Amino acid sequence: TQEHVGTERAELLADADKRTLIHPHSVIGAPAEPLVLDRGEGAVVWDVNGRSYIDGTCGLWQCPVGHGRDELAAAAAEQMGRLEFYSSFGDYSNEPSIRLAERLLELAPPNMRRVFLTNGGSEGNETAIKLARLAHHHAGNPERFVILAREGGYHGMGGGSLAATGIDRLRAGFGPLMPGIEFLAKPHSVRGADVTDRLVGELEERIAEIGPERIAAFIGEPVLGVGGMVPPPEDYWPRVQDVLRRHGILLILDEVVTAFGRIGHWFGSARYGIEPDLIVTAKGLTSGYIPMGAVLAGERVLDLADGAAFLHGFTYNGHPVGSAVALANIGILEREGLLERAETLGAQLLAALKPLERLDHVLEVRGVGMMLGVELTGPDAATAAAGVQAGARADGVIVRASGTTIVLSPPLVIDEGRLDTLARVLTEHVTAA
Ligand code: PLP
């Protein structure tokens, strides 16, 4: 029967997966039973057995416009048929990349001037870190290379981006990483505790210890993502920005998750009222239909680096197909009012989950826009969070355990019925955890 053929195919695929692939973030030699996905539409994905799942995480945060958008497939196909790719090194260029850069600068904070197109978030952070260091070097301060990063921050898996990632389990085992990175405390305010004075005080002290003349830049996510969906106190970013400016330290804002509507704005910088010197984006730029990112550079960093040879670039930077998809994706976000929708639905989901804070094993339910986290507490909290992830999936809802926090970031197109189901299933599993 049709169903039998389907089951057989699913088993063959699962078997072949386990024999052949190394998955990112997996254990070598101990492959997990894979969930082999087959198709998606809106906020739902189906596996090869035909089972459906509500996508409570938007994959890895990458899909604000939802799955299965023909318009994005058409944009990619159209561009592939015309010019699939040509390098952007040096003086080569292509129309979709030019148009995308123009569009991004229209949407970005007013101090942004130029765009460097990448293949993803890690590469974007490598680019931003190198550009910040090069800018000071070129301006006559080669000793100004220290990057301030934060515990709990996640910036990717490359040499510099991992070095700036403040999550020990991800750094272990790879030998020495990029030198010159200094860590500050995790900007964590549980249940609204006022922590800004402490964090800004620590920043000032560390700058004095290290010497401002040695510090190139500060890197941070507007809202900690992998580190547990932690929104900062409202006054945190403006105050950090003031301190950095006073000392001539550049601000790199890692907006790989927060840009393109996730927290209700094109850029999280607007949400927190700041103007960073470099903004790193990826994921939502193309909704993940094709790997792409963009680094936006502001006037201060460009002034410092004016005339410097930036001998940096990856083959697929400025990809015309990625750029065409990004333009179409931005069009959908705008046309369908998805930024506003992130605010409305995010508030609704937060209100639905907030009662979980009554449980002793729930430390906090928090969120901004459609970035939410349910943090568990207690000695077995990480195991319990992993159990919630597994239990919800068995009930047809995908959520993700990141340490002790269950993280949620549904596609912005999710309908209210599915949002209710997501909240109900999660509530059941967290309650039983
Ligand atoms: N920065 C942040 C804030 C992220 O959340 C991620 C990925 O989750 C990255 C950077 C790395 O991006 P990529 O996996 O595209 O290299």
Q: Which residue has the tokens 């992993």?
A: 386
Element (H, E) at 46: strand 44-47
Give the pLDDT confidence of 396-415 residue by residue, as tens digits: 999 999 999 999 999 999 99
Closest atom of ligand 1 to CA, residue 153: 3
- Taking the centre of ligand 1 as the mean of its atom positions, its distance from the CA of residue 419, in whole angstroms, is 25
Residue 379, pLDDT above cutoff 80: yes
Residue type present at position 257: V
Residue 6, pLDDT above cutoff 90: no
Stretch 351-364: mean pLDDT:
98
Closest atom of ligand 1 to CA, residue 226: 5
Closest residue to atom 1 of ligand 1, CA basis: 155
Q: Provide the percentage of residues in the chain whose pLDDT is more than 90.
A: 96
Banded model confidence at residue 192, pLDDT cuts 50, 70, 90: confident
Q: Provide the percentage of residues in the chain whose pLDDT is more than 70.
A: 99
- Contacts (Cβ under 8 Å, ≥6 apart) of 411: 42, 43, 55, 58, 63, 64, 65, 66, 67
Give the pLDDT confidence of 223-237 residue by residue, as tens digits: 999 999 999 999 999
Residue 2, pLDDT above cutoff 70: no
Question: What pTM did the predictor assign?
Answer: 0.97
- Cβ(254) to ligand 1 under 6 A? yes
- Taking the centre of ligand 1 as the mean of its atom positions, its distance from the CA of residue 123, in whole angstroms, is 9
- Taking the centre of ligand 1 as the mean of its atom positions, its distance from the CA of residue 280, in whole angstroms, is 10
Q: Are 218 and 245 in contact (CB under 8 A)?
A: no
Closest residue to atom 12 of ligand 1, CA basis: 121
- Contacts (Cβ under 8 Å, ≥6 apart) of 24: none
Residue 4, pLDDT above cutoff 70: no
- Taking the centre of ligand 1 as the mean of its atom positions, its distance from the CA of residue 62, in whole angstroms, is 10
- Cβ(289) to ligand 1 under 6 A? no
Give the pLDDT confidence of 28-71 residue by residue, as tens digits: 999 999 999 999 999 999 999 999 999 999 999 999 999 999 99
Residue 1, pLDDT above cutoff 50: no
User: Which DSSP category does 231 fall into?
Assistant: P
Q: For the chain, how far is it from start to end, CA to CA, in angstroms?
A: 39
Residue type present at position 330: I
Pocket test for ligand 1, best of 125, 154, 290 (most atoms within 8 A of CB): 154
Q: Any idea what the Cα angle at residue 78 is, between residues 77 and 83, rounded to 5°?
A: 100
Tell me, rounded to whole angstroms, the distance of Cα 70 from its chain centroid: 24
Closest atom of ligand 1 to CA, residue 157: 16
Closest residue to atom 13 of ligand 1, CA basis: 121
Give the pLDDT confidence of 117-129 residue by residue, as tens digits: 999 999 999 999 9
- Taking the centre of ligand 1 as the mean of its atom positions, its distance from the CA of residue 36, in whole angstroms, is 23
- Cβ(155) to ligand 1 under 6 A? yes
Banded model confidence at residue 190, pLDDT cuts 50, 70, 90: confident
- Cβ(122) to ligand 1 under 6 A? yes
Stretch 131-147: mean pLDDT:
98
Stretch 372-396: mean pLDDT:
98
Give CA–CA dist 71/75, Å, rounded: 6
Mean pLDDT of the chain: 97
Closest residue to atom 10 of ligand 1, CA basis: 155
- Taking the centre of ligand 1 as the mean of its atom positions, its distance from the CA of residue 402, in whole angstroms, is 14
Pocket test for ligand 1, best of 60, 283, 286 (most atoms within 8 A of CB): 283
- Cβ(156) to ligand 1 under 6 A? yes
- Taking the centre of ligand 1 as the mean of its atom positions, its distance from the CA of residue 390, in whole angstroms, is 23
- pLDDT for 3 equals 54
Q: Any idea what the Cα angle at residue 362 is, between residues 357 and 365, rounded to 5°?
A: 55
Give the pLDDT confidence of 24-33 residue by residue, as tens digits: 999 999 999 9
- Cβ(63) to ligand 1 under 6 A? no
Residue 382: left if φ>0, alpha if ψ -120 to 50, beta else—which one? alpha
Residue 82, pLDDT above cutoff 50: yes
